[in-house]
Amino acid sequence: MKTIDDIFNLIKQTVNLSGKIDDYNIRLSNSVFDRENLIGVYRIRKGVASRKENYKLAQQMDRLLIGLQNTSGILLKGVNIKGENYSGMYYLSDNYEKVIGYLESELDENGNLIN
pLDDT in the model for residue 19: 86
CA distance 1 to 47: 37
pTM: 0.89
pLDDT in the model for residue 40: 96
- Write out pLDDT tens, residues 90-114: 999 999 999 999 999 887 777 666 7
Dihedrals phi, psi of 17, to nearest 5 degrees: -85, 125
CA distance 111 to 94: 30
Instruction: Work out the mean pLDDT of the chain and round it to a whole number.
Output: 91
CA distance 110 to 33: 30
